[in-house]
A = this chain, B = another copy of it.
Amino acid sequence: MAIAIQDDKTAGKMMLYLAEKYQLELISVDARVTLLEEGEKARRIYFIKEGCLRLWMNSNGKEITNQFFFEGSLVASLESVLTNQPSDFYLESLEKSVLYVLEKERFEQLWEEDAEFKAWFDHYILKRFIYYSKHLLSFLRDKPEERYRNLLQKNPDIFQRVPQHYIATYLGITAVSLSRIRNKVAKTK
Interface residues of A (CB under 8 A from B): 1-5, 57, 59, 64-66, 79, 82-84, 108, 122, 125-126, 128-130, 132-133, 135-137, 139-141, 169-170, 172
Contact = CB atoms under 8 A, between A and B. Distances in A.
A130 B79 contact: yes
A98 B136 CA distance: 29
Given A129-B125, A129-B132, A66 B140 contact: yes
Given A132-B129, A136-B132, A136-B135, A141 B59 contact: yes
B172 A139 contact: yes
The 8 tightest CB contacts between A and B, nearest first, are A2-B84, A132-B132, A139-B139, A129-B129, A59-B141, A136-B136, A3-B82, A64-B140
Contacts of A65: 140
Contacts of A82: 2-3, 5, 126, 130
Determine which residue in A3, A126, A135, A140 has the highest number of CB atoms from chain B within 10 A of its CB, and name it: A140
A66 B140 CA distance: 8
Nearest to A139: B139
Given A66-B140, A79-B133, A122-B122, 19 more contacts: A1-B108, A2-B82, A2-B83, A3-B82, A3-B84, A5-B83, A64-B140, A65-B140, A82-B130, A125-B125, A125-B126, A125-B129, A128-B129, A132-B132, A136-B139, A139-B139, A139-B172, A140-B170, A140-B172
A1 B79 CA distance: 14
B2 A64 contact: no
Contacts of A126: 82, 125
Nearest to A109: B1
